[in-house]
Amino acid sequence: MKQFKLLCKSPWFVFGAAMFLFCIFVGVLYPMFSHTDPLLRGALPFEGPSREHWLGTNGEGQDMFSALLFGLRSSLFVGIAAGIFATIIGTVIGIVGGYKGGWVDNVLTLITNLFMVIPSILVLILIANSIEKRSMLLVAFIIGATTWPWTARAVSAQTSSLKNREHVSLAKLNGYGIVSILFMQILPYIMSYVFMVFIIQMATGILEEAAISMMGLGPYDSVTLGQIINQAQKTEAFSNGNWWAFMPATVLITALQFSLYVVNTSMEGIFNPRLRKES
């Protein structure tokens, strides 16, 4: 609570968090109350911004404003879910490997290193390509399953330094099981780090979703920000100078990344005692 109060005193944190929360607010509320179907081809292709279509229409005559906000919701969903998956996978692998040590750690480190050296985007493309019907949740899981290694490595390093602390020994001596030690004694210690990792994983999730959707490998059941850019690419909006078909989605992805980056760095400034400026 004290740290949250400190965070709220950081103008950069407030700025980043407000920006991200505003995106969530708009992305969640607009699709709930809007009666416009983002897939409805209700106008001519590439109409410029007007009173009826605030951000114009795309190459298929669909309203860009609706598409953008529906896309925002989907991208946020994929990003948050991918962040959760990656954080859970990375934290569990890291904490178990770091605590158990020995051959368990060796095997888990080997798997982590393998995932690290193979470019995740390549794995992502291959997996996404091999699955025909990709729901948002599945895409999020695929992203999460390929972006966890750095989390695992960092959590493992922290756990191996924590496992010999006196409070862990006392817990062991009093009959704590391994699950209790990991989740009651070690995880609370590294929770602030894990939360910061989650923020970064969320940003990575949004970016990776945009990347694979741009290649046409995104979810099949919804509009996402990446798919808007993919659509613009397919209908040659870039070469025709129809900026409204791709620029708002690009700006929105950049804004989401920027807000999460700012939140993460300002959190580091509070959670890391070496960087903390005492008031």
Position 170 contacts other proteins (CB under 8 A): yes
Residue 41 forms beta bridges with which residues? 62
Answer for the pair 147, 211: CB distance below 8 angstroms, yes or no.
no
Stretch that binds other proteins, among 171-179, 202-210, 217-225, 260-268 (CB under 8 A): 171-179
Position 276 contacts other proteins (CB under 8 A): no
The amino acid at 268: E
Residue 63 three-state SS = strand
Residue 24 three-state SS = helix
**Cα 220 to Cα 78: distance, rounded to the nearest angstrom:** 13
Q: Which is nearer to other proteins, 183 or 238 (CB)?
A: 183
**Cα 248 to Cα 246: distance, rounded to the nearest angstrom:** 6
Choose, by CB under 8 A, the member of 26, 121, 123, 171 that binds other proteins. 171
Choose, by CB under 8 A, the member of 54, 176, 220, 271 that binds other proteins. 176
Number of residues forming the site for other proteins (CB under 8 A): 19
Choose, by CB under 8 A, the member of 51, 103, 174, 279 that binds other proteins. 174
Structure tokens at 58: 């795309």
Structure tokens at 263: 């939140």
Residues 179-198, one symbol each (x = binds other proteins by CB under 8 A, - = not), give -x---xx--xx-x-------
CB of 97 to other proteins, least distance (A): 16
**Cα 77 to Cα 80: distance, rounded to the nearest angstrom:** 5
Position 132 contacts other proteins (CB under 8 A): no
Residue 92 forms beta bridges with which residues? none
Position 21 contacts other proteins (CB under 8 A): no
Stretch that binds other proteins, among 31-39, 65-73, 173-181, 254-262 (CB under 8 A): 173-181
Structure tokens at 180: 């209790």
Interface with other proteins by CB under 8 A: which residues?
A: 102, 165-167, 169-177, 180, 184-185, 188-189, 191
